[in-house]
Amino acid sequence: MQLYDIPVRTMNQPYIQMKNVCFSYNTEDGRPTNQVLKNITLTINRGEFVAVLGHNGSGKSTLAKLLNLILLPDSGSIIIDGKEVTSPDLSDDEVYETRRHVGMVFQNPDNQLVATVVEEDVAFGPENLGIPPAEIRARVDKALELVGMSEYRRHSPSRLSGGQKQRIAIAGIIAMLPDCIVFDEPTAMLDPSGRAEVMNIIRMLNRDRGITVLHITHNMNEAITADRVIVINDGELCMDDTPRRVFSQVAKLHSIGLDVPQVTELLYELGLCGVELPVDVLTYEECADLLIRKIEEKK
């Protein structure tokens, strides 16, 4: 059983489609109060790496939980891999099948790990799916190898660092062979080295293994390398474009409480003072090039 040996990158083939999805947590007499998501319409294609940005409380985590049916929308429809998952007569089996295809990794590394031994935790998912023991073994070994934690297979999870725990959590999802993984702020509670570990794995899974990635974060550095950036503000989708085009809208992002990379910010500030420079710049090199050219011009 080969685990993701053949990257599947078929862009523009929709994998997830959300149409006019609305959600609220509270209902009084059946009417929704406190709408958390308002009329969300978006498409995620197979093999894409989509970053979802938003301030705390913007509804981005809720969006994630709708995709694997932990929550159900009040209205609107969600189609995953051609299947309408919001239909009222979806059977339990179909719900679990969706969850197998769309895995989810959460923010708190501790509260995802169930077993007292690393390899048994990674095996948890496949065990739930009723996979034969020999195959579970193969999947667990491969998953641990992919996340670089093979030598910790017999260790106790509680002794690991935050970054290592998250890697185990990711391995546990990979072992279920999902098509898509939703990462709900996976690095928010990690230190810089843990963050780097986890981001490397996420990127590798998308780039080398063709897994569709939905990465929810408020850290724009993690969104820079995405294929697309979606910005959610107060429950509404307010931007959906490439990172370059999203981050160049500096004023708008600031107004909704988000950051942009410092190079982008710098060029924007210079622009406010009358220096004409393109703002859709994300890397140090590009920025340096532009500035140097401008400096040379003035000489």
Q: Judged by CB under 8 A, which of 23, 49, 106, 183 binds another protein?
A: 106
List binders of another protein among 65-84 (CB under 8 A).
Answer: 65, 68, 70
Q: How far is the CB of 11 from another protein (least distance, A)?
A: 27
- Does position 117 interact with another protein (CB under 8 A)? The reply is yes
Indicate the burial class of 34 (C-beta count within 10 angstroms; 0-12, 13-18, 19 or more). exposed
- Does position 1 interact with another protein (CB under 8 A)? The reply is no
Choice between 19 and 286, CB closer to another protein = 286
The dihedral built from the CA positions of residue 81, 82, 83 and 86, taken in this order, carries a sign that is: positive
* Neighbouring residues of 126: CB distance < 8 A, sequence distance ≥ 6: 135, 136, 139, 140, 175, 176
Query: Interface mask (CB under 8 A) for another protein, residues 179-208, using x and -?
Result: ---------xx-xxxx--------------
- Does position 104 interact with another protein (CB under 8 A)? The reply is yes
Q: Judged by CB under 8 A, which of 79, 115, 204, 238 binds another protein?
A: 115
- Does position 157 interact with another protein (CB under 8 A)? The reply is yes
Q: Judged by CB under 8 A, which of 47, 59, 172, 243 binds another protein?
A: 172
Choice between 145 and 285, CB closer to another protein = 285
Q: Within 10 A of 31 (CB to CB), how many other CB atoms are there? A: 9
Q: Whose CA is closest to 60, among 173, 174, 183? A: 183
List binders of another protein among 255-284 (CB under 8 A).
Answer: 255, 257-259, 261-263, 265-266, 269-270, 272-275, 284
- Does position 124 interact with another protein (CB under 8 A)? The reply is yes
* Neighbouring residues of 66: CB distance < 8 A, sequence distance ≥ 6: 18, 21, 23, 37, 72, 73, 78
Q: Judged by CB under 8 A, which of 20, 33, 128, 200 binds another protein?
A: 128
- Does position 218 interact with another protein (CB under 8 A)? The reply is yes
* Neighbouring residues of 244: CB distance < 8 A, sequence distance ≥ 6: 280, 281, 282
